[in-house]
Amino acid sequence: MKIFKDHAPDFSAGFSVALVALPLSIGIALASGAPPSAGLIAAIIGGIIGSWLGGSHVTINGPAAGLIVIVLDAITALGKGDALAGFKGMLAASVVAGGLQIAFGLLKLGRKGSAFPTSVVHGMMAAIGLTIIAKQLHVMIGHTPVAKKPLMLYAEIPTAIMDIKPMIFASGLIALTILFGLSKAKVDWVKKLPAPLLAIFAGSIFASFVGVGGNALLQIPTNFSEWLIFPDFSVMATLAGWKAAITLALVGSLETVLSAKAVDKIDPLKRDSNLDRDLMSKGVCNLASAAIGGLPMIAEIVRSSANVSYGARSWRANFIHGGILLALVLIFPKLLAFIPLASLAAILVMVGSRLGGPVHWFHAVQIGKDNAVGFFVTLLVTLSVDLLVGIFAGTVAQFAVEIFLGLRVKNLVHAEFHSHDEVKYFEMDVESSLGCSNFLPIKDVINDHLAQKQNVVIDISHCDYVDHSVMEELHDLQKNFVDFGLELKVVKSPKHVALGHDVTSAIKKAS
């Protein structure tokens, strides 16, 4: 009884998250062009296996909206018109991606994910969100679009409206209303309700009442042997196969690292994840998932945040979430066939709006014009070309702007600084501009002295430029020092105000 009492919050949180993850996992699979079972397989494996191997404490593993575009593009490119062949090819690429992630973890690259420009990451996620909305609006309306690219899908919406299926749209609109309504609720217990599950439940009841059926409902085998689909490794002899594998590995790893770091900030016990171990665990899970027909997975931020809000305290919540999902699909497989596709699409429209809504655009500009360049270049190139090209273009643009503002090429990786011990503190004097790519060595020194229980003073008065992400890192480090009864003091201010981003005021807020 004592064991159950000690772990009751994890059992409760895991159960609640499973109710959220069930419709999300199915919806993400469908939006990715994969069988709905693929999303459930990934969520179950990510929970049951990933919880044991992972290096994080309260994150939830599973298929993510952030990988939808990559998986769909891989299936399309590798299948050449044959959806099943494309899916098998994508599974092979996911197995290889899993192997690459294991290598990333062994090479200790997990913690170095913070050296990637945050503006590019946010631009990438915004582009993914807008792409999801473009595709899923057509599903909600009941229209089969001709266009494939996001911008053309938006252009086709007026045509889709003329072809609207009223009852299908109504089942999606009911779900969307519940999702947005619960998200705006003022009462705490209402906010903790599993909104996605309630949305598909209401949509299913309506669809059954008005007679929506056939291809407008979820098609999923009740014979579990049909869930098993195996990879076709012949695609790995092609450039398209390796492009898919590398993209899945890089983007999946980056999202996992950033999600784990974000969840660490809201962890009630203030623990830090072992990012390298977490990367290796995702690699193992992706190998296992793809080997039997499951989607690739990451440490998923939405479900992880919900996990914390439900009171989770340890990895057991992730394990329980995977176990509950397995039990639900084993006990109630026939109930899944009553879910309208429009209701699942509504859930993804909600997810897409959170990733790519106008608030992110305004925030990118508010941070500063330097940050906005990386954000909007990534966003626009991704929407018009593809994700990998968008990430590359955004990264080049971001570093070009930072070099223009004072970050020297020789200091892109290593910042210039010297340090010395004083009686009551350790002082660091930074002599070069600071960006996300060269701050990690300074962060390591600061953390070393935190471990030694020593106050630190960092002088950045000689910096011509300080990236916004560096200021966020300094802010987080300051809070860590306060938690240990110590102080990290940022003295003076940079001479440069970065294209609309007032670094001086940011330092004052952080101090």
Whether the predicted pLDDT of 63 surpasses 60: yes
For residues 179 and 350, give the distance between their C-alpha atoms in angstroms, rounded to a whole number.
7
Residues 206-220: tens digit of each pLDDT: 999 999 989 999 999
Whether the predicted pLDDT of 459 surpasses 70: yes
Q: What is the pTM of this model?
A: 0.89
Rounded (5°) CA angle 176-203-22: 85
Q: Which of 59-73, 279-293, 375-389, 470-484 has the lowest mean pLDDT?
A: 470-484
Task: Walk me through the domains of the chain, giving residue ranges and CATH numbers.
Answer: 2-165+229-332 (no CATH), 358-406 (no CATH), 410-510 (3.30.750.24)
Whether the predicted pLDDT of 345 surpasses 70: yes
| Per-residue confidence (pLDDT) for residue 498, from 0 to 100 | 41
| Per-residue confidence (pLDDT) for residue 495, from 0 to 100 | 52
- Work out the mean pLDDT of the chain and round it to a whole number: 90
User: By C-alpha distance, which of 3, 2, 1, 16 is closest to 317?
Assistant: 16
Mean pLDDT, residues 343-365:
93
Mean pLDDT, residues 343-356:
94
| Per-residue confidence (pLDDT) for residue 378, from 0 to 100 | 95
For residues 418 and 440, give the distance between their C-alpha atoms in angstroms, rounded to a whole number.
15
Which pLDDT band, with edges at 50, 70 and 90, does 135 fall under? very high
Whether the predicted pLDDT of 119 surpasses 50: yes
| Per-residue confidence (pLDDT) for residue 501, from 0 to 100 | 45
Where helices occur in 32-156 by DSSP H, the ranges are 36-48, 50-53, 68-79, 83-106, 118-141, 150-155
Do the Cβ atoms of 309 and 120 come closer than 8 Å?
no
Mean pLDDT, residues 306-335:
94
**What are the residues facing 420 on neighbouring strands?**
427
Which pLDDT band, with edges at 50, 70 and 90, does 504 fall under? very low
User: DSSP secondary structure string, 233-267?
Assistant: GGGGGSHHHHHHHHHHHHHHHHHHHHHHHHHHHH-
For residues 400 and 394, give the distance between their C-alpha atoms in angstroms, rounded to a whole number.
10
Which pLDDT band, with edges at 50, 70 and 90, does 266 fall under? confident
| Per-residue confidence (pLDDT) for residue 5, from 0 to 100 | 56
Whether the predicted pLDDT of 510 surpasses 50: no
Which pLDDT band, with edges at 50, 70 and 90, does 189 fall under? confident
**Helix, strand, or coil here: 2?**
helix
State the Rg of the chain over Cα.
Answer: 23
**Helix, strand, or coil here: 41?**
helix
Whether the predicted pLDDT of 500 surpasses 80: no
Which pLDDT band, with edges at 50, 70 and 90, does 274 fall under? very high
Strands 417-421 and 426-430: antiparallel
Mean pLDDT, residues 305-311:
91
| Per-residue confidence (pLDDT) for residue 462, from 0 to 100 | 85
**What are the residues facing 73 on neighbouring strands?**
none
Instruction: Decide which of 268 and 133 is more confident.
Output: 133
Which pLDDT band, with edges at 50, 70 and 90, does 503 fall under? very low
| Per-residue confidence (pLDDT) for residue 342, from 0 to 100 | 97
For residues 244 and 88, give the distance between their C-alpha atoms in angstroms, rounded to a whole number.
12
Q: How far is CA 5 from CA 9, 220, 294, 391, in A?
A: 8, 38, 34, 47
| Per-residue confidence (pLDDT) for residue 492, from 0 to 100 | 67
Whether the predicted pLDDT of 421 surpasses 70: yes
Instruction: Decide which of 5 and 176 is more confident.
Output: 176
Residues 220-261: tens digit of each pLDDT: 998 999 999 999 999 999 999 999 999 999 999 999 998 998
| Per-residue confidence (pLDDT) for residue 118, from 0 to 100 | 86
Do the Cβ atoms of 459 and 488 come closer than 8 Å?
no
Q: Which residues contact 158 (CB under 8 A, 6 or more apart)?
A: none
For residues 32 and 65, give the distance between their C-alpha atoms in angstroms, rounded to a whole number.
9
For residues 237 and 283, give the distance between their C-alpha atoms in angstroms, rounded to a whole number.
21
For residues 119 and 314, give the distance between their C-alpha atoms in angstroms, rounded to a whole number.
31
Mean pLDDT, residues 45-49:
97
